[in-house]
A and B are shown apart, each in its own frame.
Chain A
């Protein structure tokens, strides 16, 4: 069974940093591209970042470019999101989502980890 489990969320002050993790099991992690998607409280979904299976291709949404860094460790079946210079508007539930093997849609999602940026 495919499982994606996010962790690392919490309360952080504006300007602070946080590192999110997504532990994956039930599939061959190294063969799949992965994404981070966030959802502000009571709001819609926003794509944040993409990383290819071998980390050769990385994309960021304009809203996080230069502040967030996506990475992965295929040996540990884990995906990461390093978030720096956090702002109040980064407050959201952060999901990791697996890109389908051949299509560019997301076929599996984790349950999310909540990041709150507040003083």
Chain B
């Protein structure tokens, strides 16, 4: 089974900050990685797929990069609506999620 490890688990940041979340896979998943945003009481929302492709309608301040085993999600300038929990997901072999990164207000 492929394990996904996100870091950090919690991140405190201010509006306007540049934020980076890392996701590492236990083996190569090439580019088969997605990022989701989840707010309390809501379903996850797709942000990025195939490691770096931005889902339609998602603000351009979100970007993804990486390949193989190491990936990053970057928010270029954090907005009030971005305080949420973010999950990576591999779909190279079945599906596995990272444990999540909660972005909190500093």
Contacts and interface: CB of A to CB of B under 8 A. Distances in A.
Contact of B44 (A46, A61, A109): A109
Contacts of A105: 34, 46, 49-50, 89, 91
Contact of A44 (B1, B32, B42, B100): B100
Interface string B93-106: 01111111000000
A104 B50 CA distance: 9
Contacts, number: 53
A110 B45 CA distance: 10
A114 to B, nearest CB: 11
A59 interface: yes
B71 interface: no
Contact of B55 (A62, A104, A107, A111): A107
Given A44-B87, A45-B87, A104 B43 contact: no
Interface string B45-87: 1100110000100000000000000000000000000000001
Contacts of B95: 35, 37, 47, 50, 104
